[in-house]
Structure 1
Amino acid sequence: MRAGMFLLADRGRARVHRHPLVYVGVFALRAGGIGRAIALLSERAEVVEEHRAQYMYVIRSQMLNVMGLRTRVLEEGDAGGGDAVVMIHGVGGWAENWREVMSPIAHTGRHAIAFDLPGFGETDPPGDVAHFGPRDPFYPRFVGALLDELGIRWAHLIGNSMGGAVAYTAAVSQPERTRSLALVAGGGVGTDVAFFLRLCTLPGVTTLSRVFGRPEQARDVLRTCFYDARRIPVSLYDEAERYGFPSFGEFVRALRSGVTIFGVRQSVREHWVALASRYAGPVIVIWGREDRVLPVEHAAEAENVMPRARVELIDACGHLPQVERTDAFLAALLPFLDRAEAAAAA
């Protein structure tokens, strides 16, 4: 018997980056004569510099101390200009998951910011924390501390995949600092959890992935994130070994904070859903219609949690709208940001 399972995640000193799109790390486990492949999907790849040559901004990279953790932050645009737009990658991903949209956002006069969550990319691991709580939740505190370190009073929060759950918890924890909330194929809004995700909460998974993992299998797993695999750049696979594969341990720890082998930890979900009314600001939900990782039906569940949400579905698009259909993604996001700022100024 052989089963293949795909595990989602979601893309120091100043330096210039090339444009990455999406990235995936893959882990294969074989135990007891049964072959199991557990794949950690992350979002990153690189495209040529001229892809966004019309934008004159340069991404700045720096390492900041946030809650005692060395944290890698990417910024583009004028920090003293318009509103900050803070983008949060999915589990297993890193800051460059948002690179394709940072320049267009900065071009509107806003301050585009993306960062590596603790334990991912180049940010230090957080250690023994309750990622989503419900008691003393780590992620919303970390987002708030990052804003403090950057000197930002409020920001638009955007999260993809698990980053959507991080953005949501930050918004309801500190609504006064959240100008708007955008959930991009956001995790945590649905009531179901796929079996392969629940399986990854079992003891020993991390050790087995280190022993039997084969990062070269990323090519097959990556295709599950895209509706059109021709959009995947060849350079994506090198990034798998750099960031995605080593982050699997932190992925498991973050997953266990809200999920068990039996499904969602109801105490965690009920706690956060009950707080939805704390945030009364603008909400948009953006989803690819052909998402094979978190099906588009989850968008309706997000609307149930936050009835004020505006839902935008993108055709011919998988789990990474900001990568696969960048123009359609921006066509939904930028007018939303304009409306949110106009409402705040009214």
Structure 2
Amino acid sequence: MRRLIRIAGWLALTLVVLIAVTLVGFRCAAALRENLSPEEAAPAGALFAKVDGLKMHYQVWGPQDGPPLLLFHGTASWAETYRDVAAPLGEQGFRVIAVDMPPFGYSERPADQDYSRAAHARRVLGFADALGLRHFSVGVHSYGGGGVIEAAFLAPARIDSLILLDVALGLGQTEAPAFPFASFLSRDWPRQLLTAATFTNPLMTGAGLRRFIENDDLATAERIAIYARPLNVKGTTDAVGHWLFSGLFNDERKSLAADPANYRTFAPPVLVIWGREDSTTPLKQGEEIASLFPHAELAVLDGVNHIPQIERPQDVVRLIANFLKRTSPTAR
């Protein structure tokens, strides 16, 4: 029996050592990979706007004088991940502008590591100011929804239309979100080891994408490469590690986007697009959000999980184009 216990102990210790070595290996790989500034890493001809002291990367489709539509992404995404809907909307005459929101993509990261909804909202409105957009429509996906809705509530007179794609808001939360092992992961090295093994690990990009879509065939090598492309920007692992605390698991119960009363007084038209098979933010959440706005439409897409702009881009383009042509003053 003692021999079995010793063997079990050695096996457990060996497993712990292997896990530790693997995590350290991923962190070292991230350090070697993240060796370019945002401007050096960005695609040729990249566009940047100065917002609150940060250079923010963005991409544009459509005519210069088209009705402006700003698009903001969710977790581990960037402007190019909108291409399947942005390009066709541009061809229909809209000025589509997709933005990289820190800490993702090629935008600079703030020195204070603040990725809260309030900070996100300031960057949304600051970006619009930088491009000289007084009025605009805005669309957002998943995690990005909280900050964009916050911006819309801060400046409703500037919003022509609001488009929400499977947004993750956590409405009705009575307790702060619990981050597993928060006290341990609040330290730099443990947090960076976790982040390098998951969010900023190119080997995990495909698995992460497949988790959020219904049809795995859509996670092509080309698409996975697009999602992974900005992972060579300096400081990505450190920035995303901070985002886990000040962004993803931040206590936003007092934010403007967490108060249902703000939804009920929001006058601009709203289009809510949701995947019926969404396993991250179930359809019930989309129905609740749509019911709170006084002027909202809900479009449910069958066979779609959490990323409709990838899973059913043609339907998303049709829904957005028809909605903007009906509701946005600058699109008529």
Bin the TM-score by the shorter chain.
0.7 to 0.9
Give, in whole Å, the separation in 2 of the partners of 1:113 and 1:106: 9
Gaps of 5+ in 2: 1-14, 24-43
- Name the counterpart of 1:256: 245
**Conserved? CA contact 1:64–1:72, under 8 Å:** yes
Q: CA deviation at 1:62?
A: 0.8
Letter in 1 for 2:90: A
* Superposition map of 1:35-184 within 5 A: 61-79=46-64, 81-128=65-112, 130-132=114-116, 137-184=118-165
- Name the counterpart of 2:290: 303
Q: Deviations over 1:270-321 (max 9, x none)?
A: 7644433453100011011112222222102212432432111101112110
Q: Of the candidates 271, 289, 313, which is equivalent to residue 326 of structure 1?
A: 313
Give, in whole Å, the separation in 2 of the partners of 1:140 and 1:230: 35
Deviates more, 1:161-170 or 1:202-211: 202-211
Give, in whole Å, the separation in 2 of the partners of 1:211 and 1:323: 25
Q: Aligned in 2, Cα 1:181/1:202: closer, same or farther, shift over 3 Å?
A: farther
- Name the counterpart of 1:9: none
SS at match of 2:58: strand
**Conserved? CA contact 1:162–1:188, under 8 Å:** yes
Q: Aligned in 2, Cα 1:270/1:316: closer, same or farther, shift over 3 Å?
A: closer
Q: Aligned in 2, Cα 1:212/1:324: closer, same or farther, shift over 3 Å?
A: closer
Q: Deviations over 1:159-180 (max 9, x none)?
A: 0011222221111111111110
**Conserved? CA contact 1:101–1:326, under 8 Å:** yes
TM-score by length of 1: 0.72
* Superposition map of 1:268-283 within 5 A: 268=255, 272-283=259-270
After TM superposition, what 4+ stretches of structure 1 lie above 4 angstroms from structure 2?
30-35, 200-203, 210-214, 244-249, 258-261, 269-272, 342-345
Query: Is 1:207 matched with 2:213?
Result: no
- Name the counterpart of 2:30: none
Q: Deviations over 1:115-145 (max 9, x none)?
A: 1112211111023265436xxx211111111
Letter in 2 for 1:228: N
Letter in 1 for 2:133: I
TM-score by length of 2: 0.75
Gaps of 5+ in 1: 1-29, 39-58
- Name the counterpart of 2:271: 284
Percent of pairs identical after alignment?
25
Q: Deviations over 1:40-88 (max 9, x none)?
A: xxxxxxxxxxxxxxxxxxx973122111111111111122x22100000
Deviates more, 1:160-169 or 1:240-249: 240-249
Question: In the comparison of the two structures, how many residue pairs are matched?
Answer: 288
Structure with the higher fraction of residues in helix conformation: 2
Give, in whole Å, the separation in 2 of the partners of 1:138 and 1:69: 12
Greater Rg, structure 1 or structure 2? Answer: 2
What do you get for the CA RMSD once the two structures are aligned? 3.4
Deviates more, 1:83-92 or 1:99-108: 99-108
Letter in 2 for 1:326: P
